[in-house]
């Protein structure tokens, strides 16, 4: 009897703290290492199990589970670039006032390679508010140049408002369960690129993956266009085999083809059904 009362008391405490506000220890909110949320929100390949039921909480009370919330603490800063992702009053210092918090600012890195690339990061951010960062893998200098050229291009700027994407990051391939080359996490609003031989061997392949994922961003920014495309998908002729896998992938491939035809440098072999 005493044991039942004790269990009931503990359960009551959990319910009270959970309903009255933030209680990280009781709610089971994910305890990320400060400034080191270096995995997308889809829950694959995690060093801690955010897929467990106890992590399905709404830390900031905005109606979104933390697992699907790009801003877990509700301070307006995306999780991946928030040095204090569970503190709505802090997100990191910006000593040089360039808009990029110091802990991810390449210009403040002690690594000379990062310092050399910092101008790409800042120019992309100033143009789009998109922050490009190294994750568990580094972008090469050639990849930084390609990203800057694509994101700054007239072709992409004419199509994308960058309203649903906040972070672009690179990971090791082994951080993923499958062998994907890239994906767009619409929940965490970040474009993820993964180390792979195709990108290493061909910069055009890397560029193609980037543009394809921006096609998913375009679909999110233009839901009416995507809906119209989806209704016609069964009779649509895909420019590539990959585009046949789903309306979402077909839309992204169609987007890549449009930008290729408008003059953006992509590998024509990507469109194998033309």
pLDDT digits (tens, 9 = 90+) for 230-242: 999 988 888 988 8
- Identify the band that residue 22 occupies on the pLDDT scale cut at 50, 70 and 90: very low
Report which of 219, 216, 215 is spatially closest to residue 266, judged by C-alpha positions. Answer: 215
Give the C-alpha separation, 15 to 12, whole Å: 5
Give the C-alpha separation, 32 to 118, whole Å: 26
What mean pLDDT value characterizes the chain?
A: 80
Q: Of the segments 41-55, 58-72, 173-187, which one has the largest average pLDDT value? A: 58-72
In the chain the beta strands, taken as DSSP E runs, fall at 131-134, 167-171, 182-185, 190-194
Q: What residue spans define the domains of the chain?
A: 2-81, 102-270
Q: Of the segments 36-40, 67-71, 103-107, which one has the largest average pLDDT value? A: 103-107
pLDDT digits (tens, 9 = 90+) for 203-262: 999 999 999 999 999 999 999 999 999 999 988 888 988 889 999 999 999 999 999 999
């Amino acid at each position: 009897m005493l044991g039942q009362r004790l269990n009931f008391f503990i359960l009551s405490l959990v319910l009270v703290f959970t309903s009255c506000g933030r209680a990280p220890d009781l709610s089971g909110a994910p305890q990320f290492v400060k400034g080191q949320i270096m995995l997308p929100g889809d829950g694959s390949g995690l060093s801690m199990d955010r897929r467990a039921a106890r992590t399905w909480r709404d830390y900031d009370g905005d109606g979104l589970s933390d697992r699907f919330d790009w801003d877990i603490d509700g301070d307006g800063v995306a999780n991946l670039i928030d040095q204090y992702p569970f503190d709505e009053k802090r997100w990191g210092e910006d000593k040089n006032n360039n808009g990029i918090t110091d802990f991810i600012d390449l210009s403040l890195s002690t690594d000379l390679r990062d310092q050399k690339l910092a101008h790409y990061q800042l120019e992309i951010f100033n143009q789009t508010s998109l922050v490009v960062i190294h994750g568990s893998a580094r972008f090469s200098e050639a990849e930084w140049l390609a990203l800057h050229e694509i994101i700054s291009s007239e072709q992409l700027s004419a199509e994308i408002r960058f309203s649903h994407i906040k972070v672009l990051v690179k990971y090791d391939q082994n951080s993923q369960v499958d062998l994907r080359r890239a994906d767009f996490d619409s929940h965490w609003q970040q474009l993820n690129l993964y180390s792979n031989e195709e990108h290493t061997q061909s910069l055009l392949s890397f560029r193609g993956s980037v543009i394809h994922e921006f096609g998913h961003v375009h679909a999110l920014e233009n839901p009416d266009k995507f809906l119209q495309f989806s209704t016609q998908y069964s009779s649509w002729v895909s420019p590539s085999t990959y585009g046949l896998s789903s309306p979402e992938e077909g839309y992204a491939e169609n987007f890549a083809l449009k930008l290729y035809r408008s003059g953006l440098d992509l590998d024509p072999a990507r469109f194998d059904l033309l």
